Structure 1
């Protein structure tokens, strides 16, 4: 009986440690299966296959028009195909890259030259309307082939590009969620982080734009110092507002929900007033503005490097320092912590300030990602951040939680958003799902608090069974 009980406890401990990772992997598998569909491939192998068909099926005296939509994988396909045909010695190949009208321009040129059209080779849906209209618009081209790669069944979710996009989206949520984790462990909440992200984005971009104007108005002439100083001002601004929220909670004893709700509205109003309510566009910003999000550090993307750095630092701080233990103590029992000599007010100030600073950094990253700043940045972000923290195992009742759990929670939210987007779920439906996740996570945590799971899975003694 003792051995069996030990095995049950071991399973529960391991599931508690790795359960969220299993949930994340299950979601990746689920969306990978649900998004399997027939797609037109655009890789080098497909280009080679189409090139072979052209060499075998299309007479050499007829022209081949190769079309690809610009700034897509289909452009790469078209250029690769044209190079393959050139390598094979195929003449009379016309490459059209861009919008469908570029394909029409190539057809017009071929018609004006008196050439004969043998085939149009393309991949993807762009240009199909032009191709379908060829017999009507170009009667001299009635006999031609349309060559496309053979469709394959493929998951549109399980791709490297999609995982990169998920990571880009998750970075801001995950970094802001570090501060939110500390706040929630103290049994608090910070609803203002989304507005602080928007405010810091606008303040940083506005400050940098003003430095550009002061330097003569040429963004390219502004140095990196203007960019770094703008980001620093934005992060400091958000940190000071976080400090203000913490002071109201710590010294005025106002409920965190009420304080941060008010600060959320104030910060959003300030963001809308920054730069006169107008967007700071990429034409007003130096080239270095986008490097924070798109640059690399020793070959590692800056966003990934920041994510790793901050999570390692947060883990060490929460698990290896006395201030990390103080944060757990304040959330576990504030009065007992105060009687034990823990500086409760100072700890509350610390966690709200850190949360504000990280929200400021998140705003700078978001603005750098799109190379602009708008007044609506960060709208609704607080819900995703809170969801990431709660799904990651941090108790809304305070006193328990882990930073790395929050990271997994952030990726779970990011994967779900990406999967629902690819399944064409509308934004209201996604919000409903996200809200349901928060409620379920809180109910599960509450069940843990009252010992429901222990009573449910506790082995019955022989006497009780009799």
Structure 2
């Protein structure tokens, strides 16, 4: 039975033209832009942002204290972006994640502070409440076939009112529980040095081994493999970025060591979730089904994929991730407010799109969220260091998002022309 499902998924992938750039042979210019060169514009944009703000702030941008602040600032965007990426891969959109994240955070705060629940049980219920909200969204979208834009917009409005009701007119609820605060609130918010250095390095070593083993395995089976240049880039670039950040944050001497140096707990949680989602999306049948449904829903249905169940699961996971992000924000701020961030939803979507996830569905990677979030966070952080106001920050972010979406549309059009010309 599993063989039938695998073959069906493979046929669906072909019908949906789901991109597997690392395994293709000769390509047109448009395909190259979407494949081997696809990560380069995003990476180069990030490098330009870092260099520009490092120079214009006199090196302040790359100081360990600022890197710590930057990484913690992007955690919420990144975690929400993980769920958004899966939704975008379906060709859908979720506008309720900021409201649902705050909803999960409020549930956690009310249970822990007002009702004296166990903190871990409170956080678990908060995440489950977010997942339930996503399941309800999914039922309307996948089963009743109401457009996702309308359903999630209505959900955002509904939860904004529900938050006011749950807090009973209180605009801010202080959370004092040490177990909740210890996740991301100072002074408990950093991994021990040995774990902060050792864990990322171990992950990188495992990643390198996996890249090499997969390359050799595909070569032995006579399948298409990555080019040597791409294989080296896939290994070297993550090592340079990750180990560079760790070196700056862990090995900079100074009297303030221990107050801001090190790897924040919430950042470690984000990248842990990122790795898990990446494995699910690339190494499981469910992940292949998500790409297939987003690439061509009708072809996926005819191939035997349960389209309704796939969409239900994705929307449920999206809202669950939003609730996790909201709880981490509560831990860092030691308070939960009824006010919903007016920009968080759009920033999460922007992080995914800027990182290369297509708004048209079926193409992109969850790693795009990390790059996109770093670009957005870097722009905000750098402009803050230069004492620029919210007006400038929003204009810059809007311009970058438009450029990313425009590039995606142009590349897809170029690829479509090259396919039709064969």
Task: Say yes or no: TM over 0.5.
Answer: yes
Identify the match of residue 266 of structure 1 among 152, 155, 158.
Answer: 158
Alignment of 1:48-197 (within 5 A): 155-197=59-101
CA RMSD of aligned residues (A): 2.3
Partners of 2:180 and 2:172 lie apart in 1 by: 12
Alignment of 1:38-437 (within 5 A): 155-212=59-116, 226-282=118-174, 285-294=176-185, 295-297=189-191, 299-300=195-196, 301-437=264-400
Q: TM-score, normalised by structure 2?
A: 0.71
Give the number of the structure with larger relative contact order, counting CA–CA contacts within 8 Å between residues 6 or more apart.
Answer: 2
Cα contact 2:79–2:321 (8 A) shared by 1 = yes
Q: Distance in 2 between matches of 1:10 and 1:375?
A: 46
Q: Deviations over 1:340-385 (max 9, x none)?
A: 0010000100110000000000000001111111111433200100
Aligned length: 321
Distance 2:331 2:180 in 1: 6
Runs of 4+ more than 6 Å apart? 5-11, 452-455
| Post-superposition offset of 1:435 | 2.3
Q: Aligned partners of 2:298, 2:349: CA distance in 1, in Å?
A: 26
For structure 1, the 5+ residue unaligned runs are 37-154, 213-224, 459-466
Cα distance, 1:432 vs structure 2: 2.4
Offset at residue 289 of structure 1 (A): 2.2
Q: Say if 2:83 and 2:321, in contact at 8 Å, map to a contact too.
A: yes
TM-score, normalised on structure 1? Answer: 0.65
Q: Does the Cα contact within 8 Å between 2:160 and 2:340 map onto a contact in 1?
A: no
- 8 Å CA contact 2:355–2:372 kept in 1: the answer is yes
CA contact (8 A) 1:198 1:379 kept: no
What is the match of residue 24 of structure 1?
Answer: 46
- Per-residue deviation, 1:174: 0.6
Cα deviation code 1:231-282 (max 9, x no counterpart): 1111111110111001101011111111100001111111222221314444
Quote the Cα distance in structure 1 between the aligned partners of 2:388 and 2:111. Answer: 38
Larger radius of gyration: 1
Structure 1 residue 7: deviation in Å? 12
- Give the whole-Å Cα distance in 2 for the aligned partners of 1:266 and 1:410: 27
Q: What secondary structure, in the 3-state scheme, does the structure 2 residue paired with 1:373 have?
A: strand
CA distance in 2, matches of 1:8, 1:436: 26
Q: Are residues 11 and 247 of structure 1, via their aligned partners in 2, closer, same or farther at CA, if it must alter by over 3 Å?
A: closer
